[in-house]
Amino acid sequence: MARPIARVLTLLELLQSGGTRTVSELAARLDVDERTVRRYAQHLLDLDVPVESVRGRYGGYRLAPGYRMPPLMLSDDEALAVLLGLVAGQRAGLMPSTGVASETAAAKIRRVLPERLGRAMDAVLDSLTYTARPDAPPAPPGPPPGAVLLPLADAVRHHRPVALRYTSADGRRSARTLHPHGLVAHSGKWYVTGTDPAVGADRTFRLDRISEARVLPGSFVPPTGPDPAERVLSGLAAAPYRHEVSLRIQGTAEQIRRRLPADLAALAQLPPGAGGDGEPPLFRAELRVERLDWLPGVLAGLDLPFTIERPAELRTRVAALADLLAQAARSPDPNVP
């Protein structure tokens, strides 16, 4: 289990307020037992913080006279890592029950940053969107290098074009110009979505494949319509893959999305009456996937009526799974006499 650094720093803050603090008082303030307080104090000593132990009935801990923590000096990447860690922890539900803790910690860090770096951090936090699949807890994505993320965030915030050096999945390198609309963290990866001004089409790029991002002169008018997260998810669902799958599914959009999230399938409701009078709505779901072997199990888990429009290979695989399940249901339990 990771050392609870937040409580160790809170102990330091309490001691810096002056005077001697009893072990019982510190334990109450930190919501830990007295043995844990002593362990935290030892950790501060390990970090060369001069914590003094005061013996006696009213003893406890204090800082050596005249000691003050030096000003907080963080590089761009260090500040970015700290702030994004706080945001990701809050989004992932990893923060303590007092939900304001991450916000106040971020505010304290923001106050001591140089103005230039503070503005850059604000741009990142303002332009960033997190997504999460409805059937899985969100996973905090690892941040890309600040040299890429910071200029992109600045360009998003101030509606400026950017020049990118990008390497595609097949290894091809290219120079791109983008009017960035937003940054999106999704399933452990980071994306920037925007418009390619040369062709007027939407584009989405993974930040880990961008080697350079440079803000260009000028500005652009941001588009209306779907927000950046919706644009990225729909783009992922429409990305070219080996198999194109089309399904007709009877049920509500919410029911379908539990098993086929937005980054996996594009949904379109068919005209009223296509499912019959009094029947649930009918949707067409279109997927692009590299492999079909996992889809029969997902479709079985839908627990909704569906029809496979294409490909024929998927029908064969679903039929094979149905035969296997039917055979398993007919087989007697060897443990029952």
Residue with tokens 């994004």: 84
Residue 94 has pLDDT above 50, yes or no: no
Q: How far apart are CA 182 and CA 204, in angstroms?
A: 10
Mean pLDDT, rounded, of the chain: 79
* Plot region of 185 (φ>0 → left; ψ -120 to 50 → alpha; else → beta): beta
In this predicted structure, what is the pLDDT of residue 111? 66
Q: What angle do CA 263, 146, 130 make, to 5 degrees?
A: 25
pLDDT at 248: 93
The predicted structure's pLDDT at residue 278 = 64
**Domains of the chain from N-terminus onward:** 5-63 (1.10.10.10), 74-226 (2.30.30.520), 243-329 (3.30.70.260)
- Residue-level pLDDT at 218: 93
Q: Please tell me which residue, 160 or 58, carries the higher pLDDT value.
A: 160
Task: Write out pLDDT tens, residues 98-134.
Answer: 445 666 666 667 666 777 777 877 787 777 776 655 4
What are 175's strand-pairing partners? 165
Per-residue confidence band for 91, with pLDDT thresholds at 50, 70 and 90: low
What is residue 240's predicted lDDT score, i.e. its pLDDT?
64
pLDDT of residue 183: 87
Which helix (H) or strand (E) segment holds residue 61: the answer is strand 60-63
pLDDT more than 90, % of the chain: 19
> CA-to-CA distance for 260 and 284, rounded, in angstroms?
12
| pLDDT range class, residue 139, cuts 50, 70, 90 | very low
Res. 135: pLDDT tops 70: no
The structure tokens listed for 45 are 């000593």
Cβ atoms within 10 Å of 308's Cβ, excluding its own: 20
φ and ψ of 82, to 5 deg: -65, -50
Q: What three-state secondary structure class fits 317?
A: helix
pLDDT the model gives residue 189: 80
Confidence of residue 54 (pLDDT cuts 50, 70, 90): confident
Max CA pair span of the chain? 83
